[in-house]
Amino acid sequence: MNKDTSITPEEEQEIFSWFLHGTREKASPEKRKDFGAWLNQKPNRQAIAQRIEYIWNHRDFERALLQIEKTDHKEPLNSRKATVRPWYLAIATSLLIVITTTMMHNSNTPKSAKRIYQTEPKQVSSQKLSDGSTLDLSATTKVAVSFNPRKRRIRLFNGEAQFSVAKDPSRPFVVESRQASIRALGTIFNVDQRYGFTELSVLEGEVIVNPLKQTRKRFVVGAGEMLRITEHSTGAIKTFDLTNYKSWIEGYTQVENQRLSELLIEFNRFTDTPLTTKGNDIGKLLVSGSFDLNNIDTNIQILAKLHNLKIQHQGSHTVLERSVEETP
């Protein structure tokens, strides 16, 4: 059965208003999720949204509005995110309609459609991309998605994301972190971007990894394998049990001999109260186990008992430090 992919004028106007009125910036996480789900119901809705966002953020579009302002009005142009005056909204809407309509007639795929996806602490998100791939974002994560006819590119700025890649041999799917470029054609993999390293876990298929500052190195990582890349070095490829694997998507994080400071980075994505350690030796403690990301307080209590730590609440932070009883 063929789905109706046509777009009505009312649907177009709703998409335009989402961007032009600053509705997206003011919307709650629930409303953003609902709007994203509505866009994903029709590929053409998603395509229009990507084109509008690309044009709206393009410097030439802003220059055009500034020129109109200088020519016809004496008041200075406010920020695009500020409240939009009626004349400004009318001009912006007209320009966007003309430009996006022209682009849609010229090509089914924009030359460079870029879109930002971002989650807040304790918020996760799942997005269906225009190529059929699925992008799952963990909490406190930000990515930029940029597709063109020759390449599918995603920039992971921070956080953790899982990618279920639709096969398209003519358009490689590339994820770029601070430390590595990860290339896939059709596979499922998870990328965790932390302060000093990128950690890759492959759940299906295989990917090619090129460390950004280790230009002569290249790694092929397959299902059930993981790899950690820092700025100047790359660890050995390790294996993990796919059968018993649980990730943040199921609400868990599993670690084996991981530094406590690194585990707290994961916990901090799922709590409003930042967690820190006092003393370098505490942060270097090696911990193992499976932790429920929906019960961060319980996790901290368990870790404190296992490693004889004291929990201190200091202002807006929770600090783990060595217990007094253990001091010589």
226-265 pLDDT per residue, tens = 999 998 889 999 999 998 888 999 999 988 889 999 999 9
Q: Is there a single domain that holds both residue 133 and residue 40?
A: no
CATH number of the domain that 152 lies in? Answer: 2.60.120.1440
Q: Is there a single domain that holds both residue 100 and residue 118?
A: no
Under the banding of pLDDT at 50, 70 and 90, the label for residue 149 is confident
Q: Which domain holds residue 298?
A: 251-326
196, 229 Cβ separation under 8 angstroms? no
- Give the tens place of pLDDT for each residue, 108-140: 444 456 889 999 999 999 999 999 999 999 999
Under the banding of pLDDT at 50, 70 and 90, the label for residue 4 is very low
Contacts by 238-242, CB closer than 8 A, 24 or more apart: 240/201, 242/203
| Range among 40-54, 85-99, 303-317 rated most confident | 303-317
Q: Which of 242, 260, 289 is the last residue of a domain?
A: 242
CATH number of the domain that 304 lies in? Answer: 3.55.50.30
Contacts by 250-256, CB closer than 8 A, 24 or more apart: 251/292, 251/293, 251/294, 252/290, 252/291, 252/292, 252/293, 253/290, 253/291, 253/293, 254/289, 254/290, 254/291, 255/287, 255/288, 255/289, 255/291, 256/288
Can you tell me which residue has the tokens 């998603």? Answer: 46
- Report the SS3 class of residue 249: helix
Tally of structural domains, the chain: 3
DSSP structure class, residue 118? E
Instruction: Check residue 105 and give its pLDDT.
Output: 46
Q: Which of 208, 242, 276 is the last residue of a domain?
A: 242
133, 164 Cβ separation under 8 angstroms? yes
